[in-house]
Structure 1
Amino acid sequence: MGHLDWLERPELSDAVLIAAFSGWNDAGDAATESAKFLRRRFRSHPVAQVDPEYFYDFASVRPSVRLTEGERHIDWPRPEVRVGELDDGRPLVTMLGVEPRLRWRTFCDVVVETAETLGVSTVVTLGALLTDTHHNAPVNVVGASNNAALNLTMGLRQSTYEGPTGIIGVLNDACHRAGFSSVSFWATVPTYVHNYPSPKAALALAERVAQFLGITLGESELHSAAANYGRQIDELVAGDNTLAQYAQQILEESAAEAVEDFSEMVENPDALMSELEQFLRQQEPD
Structure 2
Amino acid sequence: MIAAFGGWNDACQAATNVIRHLLDVYESREIGHICCDSYYDYQSSRPMMCTVQGRRRIVWPETTFYEITVNDDTALYVEMGPEPNFHWSDFCQRSLRFADECEVTDVITIGSMFADCAHTRALPVSHSEGDDDDAGEDAYCGPIGIPTVLNYAAAEDGFEARSLWVSIPQYLGGDDCAAGTLRLLEELGTVMETELEEGDLASQAERWRAKADMLVRCNDDLSDYVHHLERLMDDDPAEHDVSTPHSRRLVEETEEFLRSFDHPAAE
Normalised-by-shorter TM-score class: 0.7 to 0.9
Which residue, out of 70, 82, 88, partners 1:86? 70
Matched, 1:101 2:81: no
Report the counterpart of residue 210 of structure 2 in structure 1: 231
Q: CA deviation at 1:244?
A: 2.9
CA separation of 1:67/1:46 partners in 2, compared to 1, >3 Å: closer, same or farther?
A: same
C-alpha distance after superposition, 1:232-278 (max 9, x if no partner): 1112233344433322332333434797662259xx9xx88x949x7
CA distance in structure 1 between the aligned counterparts of 2:143 and 2:208, rounded to whole angstroms: 31
Task: Determine helix, strand or coil for the equivalent of 2:71.
Answer: coil
Structure 2 equivalent of residue 262 of structure 1: 242
Structure 1 unmatched runs, 5+: 1-16, 149-155
Amino acid at match of 2:61: P
What's 1:246 paired with?
A: 225
For the pair 1:282 / 2:262, whether they are aligned, the reply is yes
8 A Cα contact 1:22 1:32, kept in partner: yes
Matched, 1:63 2:40: no
Change beyond 3 A, Cα 1:238–1:261: same
- Partner Cα separation in structure 2 for residue 70 and residue 40 of structure 1: 23
Instruction: Name the counterpart of 1:110.
Output: 94
Are the aligned partners of 1:87 and 1:215 in contact in 2 as well (CA < 8 Å)?
no
Q: Are the aligned partners of 1:146 and 1:182 in contact in 2 as well (CA < 8 Å)?
A: yes
Structure 1 length as normaliser, TM-score? 0.79
1:18 aligns with 2:2: yes
Tell me, yes or no, if the aligned pair for 1:38 and 1:206 is still in contact at 8 Å. no
CA distance in 2, matches of 1:55, 1:162: 26
Instruction: State whether structure 2 residue 160 is matched by structure 1 residue 176.
Output: no
Return the TM-score normalized by structure 2. Answer: 0.84
| Matched residue SS, 1:44 | strand
* Residue segments in structure 2 that go unaligned for 5+ positions in a row: none
1:79-228 equivalence runs, <5 A: 79-146=63-130, 160-228=139-207
Checking the alignment, whether the CA contact within 8 Å between 1:144 and 1:157 is kept in structure 2 is no
Cα separation, partners in 2 of 1:77 and 1:240, compared to 1, 3 Å: farther
Kept after mapping to 2: 8 A contact 1:20/1:97: yes
Q: 1:42 to 1:261 in 2, by over 3 A?
A: closer
Identity %: 28
Alpha carbons of structure 1 residues 254 and 178: separation in structure 2 relative to 1, 3 Å: closer
| Superposition CA RMSD, Å | 3.0
- Misfit runs of 4+, over 6 Å: 156-159, 257-261
- C-alpha separation in 2, matches of 1:88 and 1:214: 15
